[in-house]
Chain A
Amino acid sequence: MTDNCIKDFPYLTYKGFTTCVDAFEQQFSHAISADGSKSLRIVGRGGRSQYIQITAVLYKHKGAIDASEPPEDLEDIDPAFEAHNQLPLQEDGRIDYHIVYSQGWRVPVLYMRAYASSSQSKSKVILDIGRIYSMVQDTELRGALEAVEFGGALGVQDHPVLGEPYIYLHPCHTATMLRAVGGAGGIGCREYLAAWLSLVGPAVGLTLPSVPLERQTQK
């Protein structure tokens, strides 16, 4: 099966992006919402500026003291920490991740906003990057976080569709990273967003679940 929807890899046209979005949704939507803490939806489908929204509800252990520092070495589990992990989980905010196409950079860009509570209405927006790292670190996403290398590329900018400030991962290295991963053959529409997200997602605590083989090979 030839996949020639990406003619100028690693760069996408908007139309190519929408094809990648459809493929991504088809493959991952089910797996992403499987554990109940995340959901995926396409905003503005069919329009001129559609984007993917992945919402991750964050949990903390009920009754836990707000630790400002996570354990230094994750391998070094101590009994007190283990006991802490037995406490019941309660909702402790949410993070919205948006995968938006950039007309200027011709690649997807990751935007995100954290909220102090997981409810939709009147929740305090958190735009402080340090605070968001500690929010993610307090949850089960902690193991997936690889902050340092991409830490410098996080900034705050107006969301290109919504027009309000969001944290974003600067896209200037995206093309280089994708080329390195894609190799001579490049990456087709079916795998593009998964490949892209595997490169940029961990820096912001967003990792992809593994997907059953039959979904991957569906036409």
Chain B
Amino acid sequence: MEPTVQKIWNGMIPIELQLAAADAIELLASAVLPEPFQTFYMLVPRVGYLPFTTARIKEQWLDPMLEMSGSRTQNVKETEFWFEYNKQPLKWHYPVGLLYDMLVREPELPWSLTLHVRKYPTPKLIPSPSIQSMRDMFMAMIKEADFIRNGSTKRVMDLAKSDQMQLLDGLQDHSFEKYFAIHSIIVPASKGAKTKSLKAVPLRFYMASGGQEDSAKEAPDISQFHVSQFPVPLTKEGSTDLLVLADAFRVCYEIDQSGDAFVTNCACICQGVSIPWETPISWLVDNFFYADCFLHLVVLNTVS
């Protein structure tokens, strides 16, 4: 039986891409793309990132399409690509699985996105997505996770340059072996020792604000999500009792010990799975982390 960590790593989201009509008109003088280029399909890891897909999109779809139709306009630059779902630009520095969990209520497979190659929506999106800027963003998150866990960034900073490259290549190429060889240096195995030596858990809650009555029905809006981060301990203060997900939520949002409306009214989604509120954080830390070593937890209102 496959270990949970491997299952999470293997989680994929099939994406169906269409080119924005306005861009099609500019590039091809037609809103309708020529066969067989009308849609482009790709399978993207949940723990992966959109900037790692743009090279393949350009090489396998846009370039041949433009060449075939004899279009003079060859200048599509990957750093100007952006993805849209339900009229919202997708944050390219979020893991793809996180974006899906935030924005898709009823399962939508393949996930239908629109690719834009013009009119980059600055300042809504961080400018100039590229493989290098994604790798830099990722390293910043890994360093922060290291600091939260250990009180220093020593583990990450002490990595040999070649190991750092391997970690990033493993992420980019979605190679379990390459990635986890280095991950296990940053996050050493051995559950007993891990539980004791962890200062705090790197986690973020993504909660949609907005009226309780409406939010379950309206199309989710990425800008309505508020990101809350708090370094959460593994055990309750002054005891060895494990902190559970509900406790972490209370700590993060400063809710009273007795407050539990959210337990009834909200669901917490991580890696596409609805996590019971009584799940110990230490189990989530060991199994449901994203490649950047953070737990990214989406909180949705389930009352309709």
B122 and A127: CB pair below 8 A?
A: yes
B91 and A156: CB pair below 8 A?
A: no
Instruction: Answer whether residue A155 sits at the interface, using C-beta atoms and an 8 A cutoff.
Output: yes
B202 and A104: CB pair below 8 A?
A: yes
| Complex interface: stretch among B52-60, B189-197, B223-231 | B223-231
Instruction: Answer whether residue A16 sits at the interface, using C-beta atoms and an 8 A cutoff.
Output: no
20 contacts between A and B (CB under 8 A): A48-B254, A103-B229, A104-B148, A105-B144, A113-B123, A125-B122, A125-B123, A127-B122, A156-B126, A157-B126, A157-B137, A158-B91, A158-B126, A158-B227, A160-B229, A163-B225, A163-B227, A164-B123, A165-B123, A172-B143
Instruction: Answer whether residue B125 sits at the interface, using C-beta atoms and an 8 A cutoff.
Output: yes
B140 and A103: CB pair below 8 A?
A: no
CA distance A137 to B255 in the complex (A): 47
Instruction: Answer whether residue B64 sits at the interface, using C-beta atoms and an 8 A cutoff.
Output: no
Beyond A104-B147, A156-B126, 19 extra complex contacts between A and B, CB < 8 Å: A103-B229, A103-B230, A104-B202, A104-B231, A105-B144, A125-B122, A127-B123, A127-B126, A127-B127, A128-B127, A156-B127, A157-B126, A157-B137, A157-B140, A158-B126, A158-B227, A160-B229, A165-B123, A165-B124
Total number of residue pairs linking A and B with CB closer than 8 Å? 50
| Chain B interface size range | 20 to 34
- Chain A interface, number of residues (Cβ within 8 angstroms): 19
Contacts A125-B123, A165-B126 given; indicate if A104 touches B227 (C-beta within 8 A): no
Q: In the assembled complex, which residues on chain B have CB atoms less than 8 Å from the CB atom of A160?
A: 227, 229
CB distance from B168 to the nearest CB of A (A): 16
CA distance A114 to B46 in the complex (A): 35
Instruction: Answer whether residue A179 sits at the interface, using C-beta atoms and an 8 A cutoff.
Output: no
CA distance A125 to B231 in the complex (A): 32
CA distance A106 to B202 in the complex (A): 13
B229 and A104: CB pair below 8 A?
A: yes
Residues on B lying within 8 angstroms of A by beta carbon are 91, 93, 122-127, 136-137, 140, 143-144, 147-148, 153, 202, 223, 225-227, 229-231, 254
CA distance A185 to B1 in the complex (A): 56
CB distance from A12 to the nearest CB of B (A): 13
Complex interface bits, A21-58 against B, C-beta within 8 A gives 1, otherwise 0: 00000000000000000000000000010000000000
Q: In the assembled complex, which residues on chain A have CB atoms less than 8 Å from the CB atom of B122?
A: 125, 127, 165
CB distance from B102 to the nearest CB of A (A): 12
CA distance A180 to B143 in the complex (A): 21
CB distance from A104 to the nearest CB of B (A): 5
Q: In the assembled complex, which residues on chain B have CB atoms less than 8 Å from the CB atom of A142?
A: none
